[in-house]
A and B are shown apart, each in its own frame.
Chain A
């Protein structure tokens, strides 16, 4: 069996290429040939400049945006151009957790319905009672009380909603989870909880994860391997220990130097690192 679960090569994405209703729009090339591979059970970090194309890359991997060049293989199969009908069964195996879970949870549905619905839809549970059992055990896993089931998304705190997002993804028994900036709005204690949870879930379930974050400390804490992006390209990649101990790209060094540490350091703000 191939050790790699997801392999993308030479990915290019350009927004606004199609001639729209109002004639053809100016096109914005965003990814200029990106290679990335994610091993089974591996957690890969994607870090980089804001606007460098991290979210776009994630969306391309999940076939949520069309690529203009390159190839994406999932579990040994070329999925770059397969039609949506063939993509659909794969969607369950490739889950996404969003930064703002509020935007992806139906505000008019209870948590019970939000979590059991997809299980029944994808035939992962035969009936409502079995679905509920599965949901309860995952809620326990993410340290949420069963009382949450009868609540609506807005009746939970940000950290609780984030854990609902994680629970929903995990319930689909995916092979791959893409997490896009999911901890940046959380306080440090809730963040520590969520990161520990993801780490142990990926270990226990053999999940592969791509973890998009602008916070290198977070990446260091959860990832095995890291890709550093800038201007639509990968400027550095490698195992975390190596990249953090001896970054080779000037941009990676600048990223490390720009992390504010919770220590008194009066000169920090004025120190500059050339990129």
Chain B
């Protein structure tokens, strides 16, 4: 039997802001040691909510109403706050969706990266700085020396995003939750980042939960994929199966919606209203 790094079972949650509307409906997913699972679905489908539930950082207005999140044999949902704190940011690391708000605008990048290394990996200030510099080079930042001394607003969007990727990898976690980590990157840098993730995963067995809208990324880096709609798992399985033989009409429609440079006349077909109607009926929402 293969050991799962992460097993989510029957996870349900409601949003108090939207009158108790369910945001997760009986979600189950597994991640093997060294596995990379893609988590896809439209805006509002609940991808970030799953990520936040695992990290224990849900907003007060989102309430978990059932389920388990098992990480290396322990249920994260019933763990004490200080136990959770020791795991988060060291065994489990997040690459957040929003690079604007995740960095402290008033501190230089070098200092922010070194903080994590000193705190979570017990490094001296000098070692932490040298290590931070190397991490920036690893994520393909051209002039790491300048970036170390920069404030967040002095970097381009893609550079800020790479700083956050470096910060997550810095702690050598066992599980990385990457919430749309490459949206602001050009494809050549994106490919290097995907390679870096693959390297971490094969060298150290790091598991990755990869939230993305891009089925191309899913095809090239993930081994399994979970598709959500309105908080419900619509399709799940090995990537190749799902892409080549999707079960659900919604999955097929999503594959057809993406533009393709190699087929300028294909793609750009929004998901038909009929498919959404069918989905809502299936889930039981009006």
Q: For residues 51 through 98 of chain B, which have their beta carbon under 8 Å from a beta carbon of chain A?
A: none
A-B contact count (CB 8 A): 158
Determine the distance from Cα of A256 to Cα of B259 in the docked complex, in whole angstroms. Answer: 14
**Total interface residues in chain A, CB < 8 Å:** 53
Partner of A50, one of B189, B191, B259: B189
Determine the distance from Cα of A215 to Cα of B182 in the docked complex, in whole angstroms. Answer: 11
> B268 to A186, Cβ gap below 8 A?
no
> B261 to A220, Cβ gap below 8 A?
yes
**Total interface residues in chain B, CB < 8 Å:** 55
> A190 to B184, Cβ gap below 8 A?
no
> A218 to B188, Cβ gap below 8 A?
no
| Chain B positions 172 through 197: 1 when the CB is less than 8 Å from some CB of chain A, otherwise 0 | 00000000100111111111001100
Surface stretch bound by B, among A34-42, A104-112, A164-172, A258-266: A258-266
User: Is A127 an interface residue, CB under 8 A from the partner?
Assistant: no
A52: B residues at CB distance < 8 A:
186
Q: For residues 217 through 275 of chain A, which have their beta carbon under 8 Å from a beta carbon of chain B?
A: 217-221, 240, 244, 254-256, 258-265, 268-270, 275
> A189 to B254, Cβ gap below 8 A?
yes
User: How many Å from the CB of A221 to the closest CB on chain B?
Assistant: 4
> B187 to A215, Cβ gap below 8 A?
yes
Partner of A217, one of B190, B243, B261: B261
B157: A residues at CB distance < 8 A:
50, 55, 99, 181
B42: A residues at CB distance < 8 A:
159, 187, 189-190
CB contact under 8 A between A262 and B264, given known A50-B185, A192-B270:
no
User: Is A195 an interface residue, CB under 8 A from the partner?
Assistant: yes
Secondary structure call for the B interface: helix
Determine the distance from Cα of A186 to Cα of B212 in the docked complex, in whole angstroms. Answer: 10
> A275 to B43, Cβ gap below 8 A?
no
B270: A residues at CB distance < 8 A:
189-190, 192-193, 196
> B188 to A275, Cβ gap below 8 A?
yes
> B220 to A260, Cβ gap below 8 A?
yes
User: How many Å from the CB of B152 to the closest CB on chain A?
Assistant: 14
Partner of B159, one of A51, A157, A192: A51
Partner of A260, one of B155, B219, B264: B219
Partner of A189, one of B184, B186, B271: B271
User: How many Å from the CB of B47 to the closest CB on chain A?
Assistant: 10
CB contact under 8 A between A188 and B186, given known A217-B267, A260-B216:
no
Partner of B257, one of A49, A191, A219, A258: A191
Determine the distance from Cα of A263 to Cα of B243 in the docked complex, in whole angstroms. Answer: 7
Seed contacts A215-B259, A262-B243; 13 additional CB < 8 Å A-B pairs:
A48-B186, A50-B156, A50-B189, A51-B159, A100-B100, A187-B254, A188-B258, A214-B158, A214-B185, A216-B261, A217-B261, A244-B261, A264-B219
- A-B contacts, 21 listed (Cβ < 8 Å): A47-B186, A50-B184, A50-B185, A50-B186, A51-B142, A51-B159, A158-B43, A184-B184, A190-B42, A192-B258, A214-B186, A215-B187, A218-B259, A220-B261, A240-B264, A244-B264, A262-B258, A269-B191, A269-B195, A270-B195, A275-B188
B interface residues (Cβ-Cβ under 8 A, vs A): 41-44, 100, 142, 146, 154-159, 162, 180, 183-191, 194-195, 198, 213-221, 239-240, 243-244, 253-255, 257-262, 264, 267-271
The 7 closest A-B pairs by CB, nearest first: A50-B158, A260-B216, A262-B215, A258-B187, A188-B257, A221-B259, A214-B186
